A and B are shown apart, each in its own frame.
Chain A
Amino acid sequence: MGEINHECTCHGNPLVPQVVKVIKITQETPDVKTFRMQTPDGKKPFAPLPGQLGMISVVGVGEGMFSITAQGEDWIESSIKKVGMLTEAFHELAEGQEIAIRGPYGNHFPVEALKGKDLIFIGGGIGLAPVRSLIRYCMEHREDYGHIDIVYGSRSPEDLCFKEDLFQNWPKEKDTRVEITVDRGNETWEGNVGFVPAYVEELAFSPENKKVILCGPPIMIKFTSEALVRMGFAKEDVITTLEMRMKCGIGKCGRCNIGSKYVCLDGPVFNLAELDELPDEK
């Protein structure tokens, strides 16, 4: 399991959010936007560790739990895909508008345990969002980590999130390789076409001294995990994140349990060996 950090920055009452201003909105894909947030007095609302979550609300509409995908000196970012009423309200926001956030919640990727390892990041669709926070962390602490592979897939070239990172920023980093695939190409797409699990097998990684960080839709996680196990990866070395419906974010309200674990508090980061221990109810 990931490491736990419960230092909530929410001034005493963990269920009351703080107001933040949306200072930048990036349209990543037709249905994914990234929201950069800052307190009204220009500060970072809190400093999450990679993989941690924020309960973000369009005040008056509702709250939702989202992964914090990136942070800077005085801002944090979340990428939100339009799937329902709340996320639609997010997509209608304009720069300069105020929303609210509480957190950080949940455990985080085991950044200490990953030190000295070669890392393979595998993302599918919006699943690159939680992984991105760790990729950025590793780039900032580049000397602590070995070779980095980033394998990413989406339905189509238009659906690729974080294009600037994928095509410009990350390939420039030292000892880093970015491999992109899409389920269906288009007339201008020259990269790989195919599903992520098959592509991972094609890339034929050796498991030696490697750790895998895997996020995406449940079906993609399932088949990619099976592929990795076939390739000889130990289940302890494949780390993923879970998604459940959440309301409180602090392990009280009950709904995000899998067995005796609460995904909002004990997760969202689990390795495959830990997931095997939990009831099959994801």
Chain B
Amino acid sequence: MQLKKTDLTGALKILAADASVFVPGEIEGIKRFVLWDGESDVDLGGANTQLPPKDILFPCTEKMYNYKMGDSIEIKEIVEKPRQVIFGIRPCDMRSIDCMDHVFLEKGFVDSYYSRKRENVTLIAMGCTTPERTCFCDSMGLDPNNAPNADVMMNDGGDTLVLEAYTEKGKAVLEALNGLLSEGGQAKKDTACTLKVNMTPELPEKLAGMFDHPIWDEVTRACIGCATCTYVCPTCYCFDIDSDNHGAEGTKFRCWDSCMFSDYTRMAGGHDPRPTKKERVRNRYMHKLSYFHERYGQHLCVGCGRCVEKCPAHMDITMFIDKAAEV
């Protein structure tokens, strides 16, 4: 099925009737996913959003429960099940949702806060037509033209968007948009990244054996220990849990945390298993390229290139991959 690009606003209006629709947009000079305001044009082309859409399913600060202190404690869980649509999310960011599904929904415990949002979100993905020079998703095993876990997959068809439903949720979307859709449409699906990285199938296991390799002394020194890479990363999911008290009441919340921070693994007694940036960067790279693969069978790096683009020290995980593949 295809949707005329001139009908895009009409289509979004239908979707926005009973859900919050997030689209690629701009706030104060930063391209990111924004709540669609009912009329703005949507920027589906150009560079990918500078910030990933992960905060829609995993907010950077998320309230968990309210409590009352005193002689008798009361705890009241905060339950939110917002109906949300992420429109125009690219295959790299779609793969990051796959990674987060593994983390939050598997291995013994289901994370209720994530699962409630995940169940109620509709993912309308857009095949990438404009990879940046820092994009390397196809080296990480992705197809920039397709997101298998999308509810609806869209691809550019010139004057139209070519739509295909992959799930029941997706079929419901196409039904809702039926009046605006027509049969046919030729989609462009030949996007490839220009940056090719030597991410060999053997690398995850090879890295596991390189924990004490001198390569870490070299590749970690430029790091300034900030959290930019982790906060612009679509797959970094580490969080902290903390309290916010107001008198005898308070709220427990969780918020994004970063393995780059000095207090991240420091224990109450002062012992820190990852005391310097060498151990921290090593853990981050290993997590992305080896540990996660060992645990969940896929890479935790989707090749979106945001960390390469934003690192203050211009550190580059693709240079590390190439170097590690060679040694």
Contact = CB atoms under 8 A, between A and B. Distances in A.
Nearest to B114: A252
Secondary structure class of chain A's binding surface, majority of residues: loop
A257 interface: yes
A255 B238 contact: yes
A265 B295 CA distance: 13
Interface in B93-152: 103-104, 107-113
Given A83-B268, A252-B237, A254-B259, A13 B112 contact: yes
Contacts of B208: 259
Contacts of B72: 40, 98
A260 interface: yes
A133 to B, nearest CB: 20
A153 interface: no
Given A6-B108, A16-B65, A98-B73, A252 B103 contact: yes
A63 interface: yes
A273 B267 CA distance: 25
A258 B283 CA distance: 9
Given A248-B239, A252-B237, A257 B291 contact: yes
The contact size tier of chain B is: 35 or more
Contacts of A6: 108-109
Contacts of B243: 60-62
Interface string A262-282: 000100000000000001111
Contacts, number: 130
Contacts of B273: 244, 258, 281-282
Contacts of B271: 218
B268 A265 contact: no
Task: Name which of B103, B273, B294 has the most chain A CB atoms within 10 A of its CB.
Answer: B273
A97 B250 CA distance: 18
A63 B109 contact: no
A84 B107 contact: no
A100 interface: yes
Interface string B240-267: 1111010000100010010100001111
A250 interface: yes
A15 to B, nearest CB: 6
Contacts of A98: 71-73
A59 B67 contact: yes
Given A59-B73, A60-B245, A260-B292, A255 B265 contact: yes
Contact of A245 (B111, B267, B290): B267
B26 interface: no
B319 interface: no
B112 A245 contact: no
Interface string A229-262: 0000000000000011101101111111111100
B295 A260 contact: yes
Interface string B289-312: 011101100000000000000000
Given A244-B273, A252-B237, A254-B237, 4 more contacts: A244-B267, A247-B257, A248-B241, A281-B273
Top 4 nearest A-B pairs by Cβ distance?
Answer: A254-B238, A6-B108, A84-B268, A250-B109
Interface of B: 64-65, 67, 69, 71-75, 77, 103-104, 107-113, 208, 211-212, 237-243, 245, 250, 254, 257, 259, 264-269, 271, 273-274, 279, 283, 286-287, 290-292, 294-295
